[in-house]
Amino acid sequence: MIINKPAGEEPMPALLLIPGYTCASIEHLRETHPYRRLIDAYVDAGYVTLRIEKSGLGDSWNTPECASTDLHDEIESFEQGLKTLRSLPYVDPSRIIIYGHSMGGVVAPAISARHDIAGVIAYGTVALSWFEYMLGLVQFGESDFQAYSLSAHEQIVKTVNHYHPGNATLAVFPLTDHYLAKSGTMQEAYDKLIGGQVLQLFDEYNPEVGNSAVTWSNRVVVME
């Protein structure tokens, strides 16, 4: 578990960051990495942040290889992270936000359904079966060629608001891709990724994604 926090020991709001499905370490993030920029935005706003290495990665010990784990394993792992976050003396357990990116947007609500969470943010996630998702990759998208149709995200908002009226909000960031980068059109984003220009995508991070998330979180946790 990796914790970033502002100065001070008084109970603060907190963020649990749940990454996408890939088996890659998120411990040492370069300054331009989108997760690092998102974390920095929250810490600058007064939040403690916690992220967890997936099973078998980083300093994980005596855990299965990441590639061998399934969805239930991931939910259990990040749920333990939430419990740890809540136990920290400088965290206000009533003011915790979960941010799920990509597949993390599936894990986050699964955890929040079993715990009292202040709010959940899902970015670039899915509300479809695997077959529908794969088919949608070639049918829909703007910059986000890895992700999904707008209608899927609208369906998530509609479903949440059906059971919890007025709780869900849809935010759309034009020309912004799966890496939180304002990379241009879908074709331009694809060319950069396939051409090995991932660091350029990092440089094109859209700060509005992080700023909007922090602004929404502040409203939810009622920052004083």
- Structure confidence by residue, pLDDT tens digits, 153-194: 899 999 999 999 999 999 999 888 888 988 887 788 778 777
| Mean pLDDT for all residues in the chain | 88
Residue 43, helix vs strand vs coil: helix
> Quick check: 55 and 64 in contact, CB under 8 A?
yes
The domain limits of the chain are: 2-139+146-173+207-221
- Structure confidence by residue, pLDDT tens digits, 152-162: 789 999 999 99
Write 57-66 long-range contacts (CB < 8 A, 24+). 57/23, 57/24, 57/25, 58/25, 58/26, 58/27, 59/27, 66/23
CATH architecture of the domain 2-139+146-173+207-221 equals 3-Layer(aba) Sandwich (3.40)
Q: Read off the tokens for 196.
A: 């090995």
- Structure confidence by residue, pLDDT tens digits, 101-150: 988 999 999 999 999 999 999 998 888 777 777 776 666 654 455 555 67
**Statement: residue 42 has pLDDT above 80:** yes
Roughly how many angstroms between the first and final C-alpha of the chain, as a whole number?
28
